[in-house]
Amino acid sequence: MPTAHKIRQLLAFLMLQANQAVPIHACIDELWQSDPPKSAVSVTQTYVSEIRKMLRSASPEQGDGILVTRNRNYMLRVRSQDLDSEVFFEHVQRGHAAFGHGELQHAVAYFHRALSQWRGPALLDVPNGPAITMQRERLEETRFGVEEQRVEAELRLGLHHEILAELQVQAEAYPLRENVQAQYMVALYRCGRQVHAVNVYWRLRRTLSEQFGLDPSPRMQRLHQAILTSDPALDLPTLSPLRRVAG
């Protein structure tokens, strides 16, 4: 990655739209929003030149053909298999399909492959611009959804002991995410820790009340009641307890 903040930002912006023509005015809007300098066009062209130098250094044989200019548009030409985000979404799509067909072990494998593409937060060390901010939030939210669905598949497979420690970390890191709290409660219950599962619910209820004046959702309340009454539906790993009990 280039060291200059604006150059990193421009490269990230072009990568987010890989294989698409990006007008120079869109680059300027991303880099400076509503307050571009008078030299914005020439500065952006300089940044592009620096990126090209970096690409030639990294790939002497292909560098000149990676970032091309067409009618004041820029296009970063990249194979989909060379983009972590594309590989991530491909595995996610396959995982969703396997999950929908009840192929839970395959779904877990695909979700693990998808998540293995991550090396930290999305677009780390890249300055914010409108498009980058939106894409960062989209990627992070998608990753979190994949993690939740992977856990859901693992719960259906009866792997509550194996994922309990991970769920504890997630529950403490995201105290307001009800899906995470619910999955942690189910795993605790199946591991014979019914009291701990109830305590997780009351911790969530206290946090929501103190911070927002709210109660847990009806879905969480039903799950709490099911744990209190040892509802047999919670013991069925082949069917989602959150769907059976929480509706």
| Residues of the domain holding 110 | 79-157
Long-range pairs, 138-146, Cβ under 8 A, ≥24: 139/85, 142/89, 142/92, 143/88, 143/115, 143/118, 144/177, 146/92, 146/95, 146/111, 146/114, 146/115
Q: What pLDDT digit, counting tens, does each position of 104-120 carry?
A: 999 999 999 999 999 88
Q: What pLDDT digit, counting tens, does each position of 203-214 carry?
A: 999 999 999 999
| Whole-structure pTM value | 0.85
Question: Could you say which of 157, 177, 193 is where a domain stops?
Answer: 157
Distance CA 228, CA 84 (A): 44
Which CATH number is 16's domain given? Answer: 1.10.10.10
The model's confidence at residue 26, banded by pLDDT at 50, 70 and 90, is: very high
pLDDT score recorded for residue 237: 59
Question: Could you say which of 20, 53, 78 is where a domain stops?
Answer: 78
- Indicate the length of the chain as a whole number: 247
Q: What pLDDT digit, counting tens, does each position of 167-187 carry?
A: 999 999 999 999 999 999 999
Let me know whether 83 and 65 are in one domain: no
Average pLDDT of the chain is 92
Let me know whether 168 and 239 are in one domain: yes
Packing angle, helices 130-156 and 84-100, rounded to 10:
30
